[in-house]
Amino acid sequence: MAIDRVGAVVIATRQGGNVVYERFYEPFSEPEKGELREAMHQATAHQPPDSADEALGQYRSGRIVAVPTGELCFYAVGHGEYNELALSEILNALINIYKQLYRVAVIQANATSKSHRGKSLRANGTQQVPARKPEASPRINVISPVSQWPEGIPPAMGGHFMESGAAAPLSQSRGPGIDTTPPIYTYPHGDVDVSVVIHETSDHAAKGLADLVAQASAAAIKAHGAFTVALSGGSLVKSLAPLADRSDIDFSRWHVLFADERNVAHDSPDSNLLAAREGLLSKIPVPAKQVLAIREGVGAALAATHYAGLLLNLGPGVLPVTDDGQPRIDLVLLGVGPDGHVASIFPNTPEARDSPDWVLPITNSPKPPPERITLSLSAINAAANVAIVALGQGKAEIVQRVLEVQSLPGALPAQLVRPKHGKLTWVLDAESAKELHVADWDLSGRKSPFHRSAVPNL
């Protein structure tokens, strides 16, 4: 199949038509490039957003072929003896390469620094055209163009609505002038070292997570002879299974803590300890005395104090204390609930803010069981590594909210996870990442996956 010439190849987002990659093989002038981009956009402008059909367009004597895939559309313009079929084959070959290349996409960003490392979905040396995008002010809440509030955050809002229309976290503060001081939430300031890793499937993600844990374990054991890892409950536990097959991990040096625990008996089906035993701990040789379980049979307040005591008892060799007086846990593994809660830090609750305490009691959890204990945000953010694992379609909506839409501080606790002197990794799979608009992420430092404003300290 012969083709005379390919004049240009462009990859653009389907929504908005923002160019993420373009290559001109002929000396197009700047106005011609603009016309060509517009002609390409027009070729697909009337397609339904989820259409997978190829489209055709015209630019001067050239013929445009457009192949949509996922959130992106690939375009090529042929010149002279054009051949649409050949152009379409070229594009499909490109799409296959692209999919292979980003089967595991690692997007690393630093929220305020201009540097970013690792493979980015934004190809090197390409231009992200900000056309049709409003400029973001760094001082106000930045709502991404893909968010649900084009006019900005509604003026009266205790929580917010999920994209599904379900009301997600309702504020529990009663507000000024009633009989309580509303909690004050702020985004932590400063740089945050964030990676978002998107695996193809949940199995790949679990294997990737095992690698992350193995690395953190090896580094900690090398540095201080022990590895402290805080586990969450819920769906996370299933993803820990591949750890049981790792012969490269020295489990005898592990100290297993709980990022949160339900205040129930150890053999209760609600117990995070029981889930962790069944899913992992019974299959790896961690000494039983190095698994720190919640004290049974006492109220949440005493259970939290007792648990903090267990952590303190580990001593600085195993669990060093930071200058801020917080525990420096080697790795905190978190899940994220559909309302944005992490550990047992629920939206708009007093726990969703900094605290000098390491472990907090909860007596009225919106998700049963009501009594729980949780690491405080300050303790989580003092960790050397934090991983938030969110897999499957059920997490897609909250992942998009947390990573792409700035909420009021406190409304989405997962947005408050920002290790002060550590690394944060989001572990996703294709299903949970499917609502993300990764192609719109600008990793140059002007914006980041976290649309975080410098919220003034109140």
What letter would DSSP give residue 39?
A: H
In whole angstroms, what is the distance from residue 344 CA to residue 350 CA? 11
Q: Which residues lie below 8 Å from residue 363, measured CB to CB, with a gap of 6+?
A: 299, 300, 301, 370, 371
In whole angstroms, what is the distance from residue 294 CA to residue 261 CA? 7
Region binding ligand LXAUTJHC by CB under 6 A among candidate stretches 47-55, 231-239, 248-256, 425-433: 231-239
**Shortest separation between residue 260's beta carbon and ligand LXAUTJHC, angstroms:** 5
Choose between 58 and 364: whose C-beta lies nearer to ligand LXAUTJHC: 364
Binding test (CB under 6 A) with ligand LXAUTJHC, winner from 71, 260, 397, 431:
260
Q: Is 337 in the site for ligand LXAUTJHC (CB under 6 A)?
A: yes
Choose between 253 and 372: whose C-beta lies nearer to ligand LXAUTJHC: 372
Q: Is 335 in the site for ligand LXAUTJHC (CB under 6 A)?
A: yes
Q: Is 233 in the site for ligand LXAUTJHC (CB under 6 A)?
A: yes
**Shortest separation between residue 36's beta carbon and ligand LXAUTJHC, angstroms:** 46
Region binding ligand LXAUTJHC by CB under 6 A among candidate stretches 103-111, 288-296, 322-330, 333-341: 333-341
Q: Is 330 in the site for ligand LXAUTJHC (CB under 6 A)?
A: no
- Please give the structure tokens belonging to residue 120: 């980015």
Please, how many CA atoms are within 13 Å of residue 4, restricted to the half-sphere of its CB? 13
DSSP line for 257-300: EESEEESS-TTSTT-HHHHHHHHTGGGS---GGGB-PPPSSS-H
Region binding ligand LXAUTJHC by CB under 6 A among candidate stretches 37-45, 71-79, 173-181, 233-241: 233-241
Sign of CA dihedral 128, 134, 139, 141: negative
What letter would DSSP give residue 439?
A: G
User: Please, are residues 191 and 111 in contact by the beta-carbon 8 Å criterion?
Assistant: yes
Give the strand order in the sheet containing 19-24: 19-24, 5-13, 72-79, 62-69, 55-59
Q: Is 182 in the site for ligand LXAUTJHC (CB under 6 A)?
A: no
Region binding ligand LXAUTJHC by CB under 6 A among candidate stretches 5-13, 148-156, 226-234, 436-444: 226-234
Radius of gyration of the chain from Cα atoms? 25
User: Please, are residues 286 and 393 in contact by the beta-carbon 8 Å criterion?
Assistant: no
**Shortest separation between residue 334's beta carbon and ligand LXAUTJHC, angstroms:** 6
Q: Please name which of 286, 120, 266, 111 lies closest in space to residue 198, comparing C-alpha atoms.
A: 120
In whole angstroms, what is the distance from residue 322 CA to residue 216 CA? 18
Q: Where are the alpha helices (DSSP H) in 353-418?
A: 377-381, 396-404
Q: Which residues lie below 8 Å from residue 285, measured CB to CB, with a gap of 6+?
A: 251, 252
What letter would DSSP give residue 87?
A: H
Q: Is 235 in the site for ligand LXAUTJHC (CB under 6 A)?
A: yes
Question: Which parts of 365-384 interact with ligand LXAUTJHC (CB under 6 A)?
Answer: 367
Characterize 138-153 residue by residue with b for buried, 16 or more Cβ atoms within 10 angstroms of its Cβ, and e for exposed.
Answer: eeebbbbebbeeeeeb
**Shortest separation between residue 234's beta carbon and ligand LXAUTJHC, angstroms:** 2
# residues near ligand LXAUTJHC by CB under 6 A: 13
Binding test (CB under 6 A) with ligand LXAUTJHC, winner from 70, 130, 183, 234:
234
- Residue at shortest CB range from ligand LXAUTJHC: 234
Per-position x/- string for 265-294, each x denoting binding to ligand LXAUTJHC as judged by CB under 6 A, each - no binding? -------x----------------------
**Shortest separation between residue 359's beta carbon and ligand LXAUTJHC, angstroms:** 14
Per-position x/- string for 415-444, each x denoting binding to ligand LXAUTJHC as judged by CB under 6 A, each - no binding? ------------------------------
Q: Can you count the helices (H) and strands (E) in the chain? A: 9, 17
Binding test (CB under 6 A) with ligand LXAUTJHC, winner from 228, 232, 239, 385:
232
Region binding ligand LXAUTJHC by CB under 6 A among candidate stretches 39-47, 85-93, 111-119, 329-337: 329-337
Site for ligand LXAUTJHC, rule CB under 6 A: 232-236, 260, 272, 334-335, 337, 343-344, 367
